[in-house]
Amino acid sequence: MADKTILVVGTFDTKNDELDYMVQRIRAQGGGALTMDISVLGDPDQPTDVSKHAVAEAAGSSIAAAIDSGDENTAMQIMARGASTLARRMIADGACDGVVILGGTMGTDVALDVCQALPLGVPKYVVSTVSFSPLIEPQRLSADIQMILWAGGLYGLNDVCKASLSQAAGAVLGAARAVERPQLDRPLVGMTSLGSSCLTYMKSLKPELEARGFEVAIFHATGMGGMAYESIARDGGFVCVMDFALSELGNLLAGSVVNAGNDRMLNAGKAGIPQIVAPGCLDLIDFAGWQEIPVRFRDRPFHAHNRLVKCSGYTADERRETAREMARRLKPSASPVHVLLPNQGIEEWDREGGAAHDPGAFAAFCDEMRAQMTDPTLFTELDCHINDTGFVDAALAIFDGWVKDGTIRT
């Protein structure tokens, strides 16, 4: 009897042989496989476990409606909605333990939606002709998605593409066997930060929160980390967030690809999760090492952090805008928000003598924060640096108060 079952998804009318090959490889390793057809026009060689009609119906539509739309994009979005709904239901019901999806651009478009519909910890593998391509915008990627390039596999089986297909079959089954999915036996606090030299508060906060009986997940605020943080917040997975590294918001405003999507700093508030917020690293712009710098930023110096990331700073006016945008995103929150402003600095490099030290621009930012952080947002200005003990103490005092009055559930 199979120990783990994998859902194999794809357009069985055009990729039947390739999908069937992955099914065979999964079963040859002792796994189970269920098949889901997301075709529209054609039919598979053999019936699948989940038919294309069932997929369309799960989207509140039908195959006939998809065909009658006369538009392949519209049709495949119907299949994406239905496949996402059914895959999530099958995972929740224990019918399968992971998913592998095969596709070109059409199948990959569907695959990205399906993977985003599944919880963190569910193995989700995509075999695609456009894996790692700039065609895929970062915010379409789920927190723990895995991708492999479907090399040489645009049409028909061959020894080259079998290498990708067999790896994916083994990887998803192995992941389903090995994964330790989040149990959340303790209430979970979400925290954002950057490298431990730039922002250091997590080194003190994590053990303090754990001693209070909380689990702490710290997200690296370099785009993908923020998206993972936001996806868990969207599902109400945190009892409180300490959102102290906001560079992804600044990057979004600057047009950098190193951002976490347009919903950064919105999901916790919508989900009713209490938020303690500070503007860590909101003075820096991170650009991808390969990215062409927008024209309006080209007249300022850049620091190459490594070959992946290069950084620059904001002007006083730009910093004022980041403060205004923070306020716009926090004020609609359905839960309490307490903003902390450490008025001696917001990342290690902005201290006196540091590469990012710009007291005039930082003073403008602080002035705008004082003006913008008004009711219903709670606001406390701290006479310390974000990496000082005083900041940690202030954050813990707010947290402990919210635990005591029941704002944070335990």
How is domain 5-178 classified at the architecture level of CATH?
3-Layer(aba) Sandwich (3.40)
Q: For the segment 67-108, what is each residue's pLDDT rounded down to a tens digit?
A: 999 999 999 999 999 999 999 999 999 999 999 999 999 999
H/E run at residue 393: helix 389-405
Share of the chain above pLDDT 90, in %: 76
Q: For the segment 292-323, what is each residue's pLDDT rounded down to a tens digit?
A: 888 888 888 777 778 888 888 899 999 999 99
Residue 133: its pLDDT value, please?
86
Q: Are 205 and 242 in contact (CB under 8 A)?
A: yes
- pLDDT of 171 > 90? The answer is yes
Q: For the segment 349-360, what is each residue's pLDDT rounded down to a tens digit?
A: 899 988 888 999
Long-range CB pairs of 130-137 (<8 Å, 24+ gap) are 130/104, 130/105, 135/105, 136/108, 136/112
Q: For the segment 187-217, what is each residue's pLDDT rounded down to a tens digit?
A: 999 999 987 788 999 999 999 999 999 999 9
pLDDT confidence band for 273 (50 / 70 / 90): very high
Q: Where does CATH 3.40.50.12020 sit in the chain?
A: 5-178
Residue 228 vs residue 63, higher pLDDT: 63
Which ranges of 29-158 does DSSP label H, i.e. alpha helix?
52-58, 63-68, 72-93, 105-117
**Averaged over 247-261, what is the pLDDT?**
91
User: Which tokens hold the place of 149?
Assistant: 């390039």
What mean pLDDT is reported for the chain?
Answer: 93
Q: State pTM to two decimals.
A: 0.83
Q: Classify 100 as helix, strand or coil.
A: strand
Which ranges of 179-200 does DSSP label H, i.e. alpha helix?
none
Residue 1: its pLDDT value, please?
61
Q: Under CATH, to which class is 188-405 assigned?
A: alpha beta
Q: Where does CATH 3.40.50.12030 sit in the chain?
A: 188-405
User: Which tokens hold the place of 245?
Assistant: 């590294």
**Averaged over 148-155, what is the pLDDT?**
83
- pLDDT of 288 > 90? The answer is no
